[in-house]
Structure 1
Amino acid sequence: MRQPVTTALALAVLGALAACGPSAQVRNTAGTGASEMYVREHRASGVPNRFGDLKPHEWGRLSPASYPVHGLDAARYQGPIDWQAASRAGIRFAWLKATEGGDMVDPEFAGNVAGARAAGVAVGAYHFYYFCRPAEEQAAWFIENVPRTRGDLPPILDMEWNHLSPTCKLRPPPAQVRASIRTFLRITEAHYGTAPLIYTTPDFYERNDLGSLDGVEFWLRSVSAHPNERYPDERWSFWQYTGTGVVPGVKGGVDLNAFAGSETAWRVWLSQRGQG
């Protein structure tokens, strides 16, 4: 995900990065989203051919294309999404940034949630954790801003270091990080009737020994290798395999994700893990 709250500093950094990126990516950030032709021009080995990638990676035997069910996650940076186009291309699920810390709401959340539902895309919300605010406050803020909707995907707790934050440089000790995770999960599970998943990155996972958390379900980022290589012996349900994906109806690069199982396993998971 790696999409922290927008500040003047963050905007400047992101603007500089965009200016240094491929010209094709910059041109495609205008308009209503990637066309099917643009996607075809950026098809990549190992990525399902209905999508593309602006920065392709050479995958091994277990590539993203090995999995049948794919989705995306997005925030304000993608703007409004053409969900009908994304759905036709094979996007089956989407997690959208809803909140960060205890006072930020993503301005594109409400519109994109409604659009995803209308297109038949299974949709859910994620919270970007802020390490300078108590977990209880952040869980309450998420609950205040994300309605409980029967059948929606379970919430996501996004746990990663925010290197761009100008207001919080805190890096709590691993035991405190894990305690905060448990607190957030406990409060939100009680409200939504289903346990949130944890999204994380290889460095954060290792630094905070997240493998020692019992009974949690993971969504793991791994953009240069299969999760089994980056997170040895860890079980996972979702794999974020690129942050530069190309999808019809979505502007610029977007995070793409694969579900760990078959079509049948996906339907079972959805029926068991949707909000009650």
Structure 2
Amino acid sequence: MKRILKCLCRIILVLLCLAAAVLLAVGVLRWRGYILFSHEADPEMWEVFGVDVSAYQGVVDWSMLADQGVDFAFIKATEGSALQDRQFSANWAGAAEAGVRTGAYHFLSYDSPGQTQADNFISLVPATEGALPPVVDIEFYGKYLEQPPGRKQVQSILDPLLERLEEYYGVKPILYVTYRSYYLYLAGGKYSAYPIWCSSPTVFPLVPGWDFWQYSHSARLEGYYGSQSRIDLNIFRGSREEFDAFGQPGT
């Protein structure tokens, strides 16, 4: 009997170790952005909802999105020092005409200086009264999925970019983060004054002081006609009155 119990204990221990290894592997893959869960987190009851779009959504009927409760939109403008989203100008004008509050975002490149990335963004995105602050999207691509650049390298690009954008638009830019990019590059207090837009489609955001939550990567709405059938959904963490005042110079 003792031998049987001892054998069962060993089997249970092995199974527990295997389960822990699987959970750890899934967690690492999710953190690195390689996998998404099919059942994404639902937001709590919020007042202000939005989307984020790029050329992948194609031509957008902004009035139709507004009729479905879209209050704001983060629109891709630029990437690195040269790329400009071909749908940006149409999206920027169309959203504003439909009464959807706009904000433009820049996909941060680790391969060119922050000053020239800022020039690229400023050359395309107008300083518009009432718009949301510019966004710098900090995530990973290509070889950096496996080998993220070091903290000092990223900050040497990010800091002059943020400084130039704040100088030109008169407000602190929003920082779009995943858990991985936040804890690798932003945690520690240096960037605590910047608004945070957190991507977390599986759980309530776990980064401190966030302002926007990207809670779904797999929604389907009516009113866009591009190669991507899905659209990202977001909420603002606050009341409608707080949203109206958010990101305005002097607030």
Structure 2 unaligned runs (5+)?
1-36
Pairwise mapping of residues 257-268 of structure 1 onto structure 2 (< 5 A)?
257-268=234-245
List alignment gaps of at least 5 residues for structure 1: 1-53
Mapped to 1, the partners of 2:88 and 2:106 lie a distance apart of 11
Match of 1:25 in 2: none
Return the alpha-carbon distance in structure 1 between the equivalents of residues 241 and 130 of structure 2: 17
Name the SS for the 1:131 alignment partner: coil
Is 1:94 matched up with 2:64? Answer: no
Please, which of 209, 218, 227 is the counterpart of residue 235 of structure 1? 209
Distance 2:247 2:180 in 1: 29
Amino acid at match of 1:86: L
Change (3 A) 1:188 1:170: farther
- Map of 1:29-44 to 2, 5 A cutoff? none
Deviation track 1:96-131 (CA, whole Å, cap 9, x = no partner) reads 111111111101111111110110000121111111
Q: Which residue of 2 aligns with 1:31?
A: none
Determine which structure has more spread, i.e. the larger CA radius of gyration: 2
The answer as to 2:198 corresponding to 1:225 is no
2:194 to 216, 221, 231: 216
Cα distance in 1 between the residues matched to 2:69 and 2:192: 33
Per the alignment, residue 160 of structure 1 pairs with 139
When the two structures are aligned, how many residues end up with a matched partner?
211
Q: Give the % identical residues.
A: 34
Confirm or deny that 1:200 pairs with 2:177: yes
Q: Does 2:165 correspond to 1:182? A: no
Q: Deviations over 1:15-65 (max 9, x none)?
A: xxxxxxxxxxxxxxxxxxxxxxxxxxxxxxxxxxxxxxx9433x4xxx414
Residues 202-248 of structure 1 deviation map (CA, whole Å, 9 limit, x = unaligned): 11112224343231111000010000xx32xx101100011111222
- Which consecutive aligned stretches of 4+ in structure 1 deviate over 4 angstroms post-superposition? 270-274
Q: State yes or no: 1:56 paired with 2:22.
A: no
Counterpart-to-counterpart distance in 2, 1:177 and 1:272: 27
Q: CA deviation at 1:271?
A: 4.5
Stretch deviating more after TM superposition (247-256 or 206-215): 206-215
Amino acid at match of 2:210: W
The amino acid of 1:56's aligned partner reads H
Query: With structure 2 as the length reference, what TM-score do the two structures score?
Result: 0.77
TM-score normalised to structure 1 length: 0.71
Distance 1:113 1:172 in 2: 32
